[in-house]
Structure 1
Amino acid sequence: MAKYAMLIDPSRCTGCAACGIACQLQWQLPKEMHYNHLEFAEKGKYPEAWLEILPVQCQHCEDAPCLKHCPTDATYRREDGIVDVDPEECIECQICVQACPYDVRVVNQETGVPEKCKFCSDFVDQGETPACVSTCMNEVRIFGDLDDPDSEISKAMAKEDTYQLLAEEGTEPRVYYVLKGEKIEFSGK
């Protein structure tokens, strides 16, 4: 069975937001709903100032607080590790929204269901890649199976130093970030 994960290299991100737009179009989300977003932080002082950009989405945690706190098991983990939501089981209590330390759950105003990135699992099941990955012109994201040593993500992870957002929370995210220099700070909740 596959063990899906994503590797994100923030140093390659230009902030164009094509990833978010592709996701919105793919899932026909209203303009106010985003499954992924970019965090911007100004660093340094003139004349040596720069902008850090951190792409953030559901981290598909091994020890997902949203899954642990869901009273109806509407939030569940697939065998391949993708954390998903069954809208038929959801009672719209929004406990998962409060439990997520990454603040990536969004409530669909039409249905009341807290939704999130699902690694485009419908397309992954057909051998395709998530919309945010295939749309990015700067190859910021790599998606694949960590259990396959020949996969692009496995090869990239073997070469790169990586870190996870809020690793101290113990959630064991399946989204990894390339470490170049210092970690980019995540603002979180």
Structure 2
Amino acid sequence: MRRISMMAGVVAAGVCVAGQAFAMDATQVGRRIGYKEQDLKPGLDVRVGLGGFTGELDNETGVGGLFGVNAIAQASPLLGVEVGYEGQRIPIDDARVRDGQHIWRNNGTLLGKLGPVIKNKLHPFVGLGVGLSYLDSSSGSEPIYSNDWQTELPLAAGVDYRVGSLFAGVRGTYRLVGGEELTTVPGTTDDAKGSLFNGNITVGGRF
């Protein structure tokens, strides 16, 4: 029992020391890159862009526009987080259904972002997160296309430029997709597979 208590004490002490060291390192990094405490302010952004499916799903669908709204926060000089909604209309280009059909994608995503805010202006970053989408196929595409829930693992990279409390940026997001039963590969009963790639521009502000 004493050994366990001693080990727990050593671990706790190690965690405290490591935590203090990390905080000091983060502060030093923040000073070196011109990070300011006001960068911790939360904010909102809106984004527009284009994108679509890859792989087998790309063969029967097209490129569609998207719109998103996100809440954002910079938790430290290097780490940020955002959570939000993204809506996208993806056209269907499939000989098995009549023209003019589409898929509405309604998505919620939680994304962690890693990257420095340089001189309080330039913010390059990479991101990793989790997302869930509901795919709502137009009635004219049934029964070839179904409504479906789709899990997503987004991988993002981009850069923001800040002017005071306002910012603008560009990014690309590649989403690994799971659980898709949206449609089948033509001539087979196999589910069509693919990922999702979107590119967009962003404008927003911190308050």
TM-score range, shorter chain: under 0.3
Q: Which structure's CA Rg is the greater one?
A: 2
Q: TM-score normalised to the size of structure 1?
A: 0.24
Q: TM-score normalised to the size of structure 2?
A: 0.23
Judging by fraction of residues, say which structure has more strand. Answer: 2
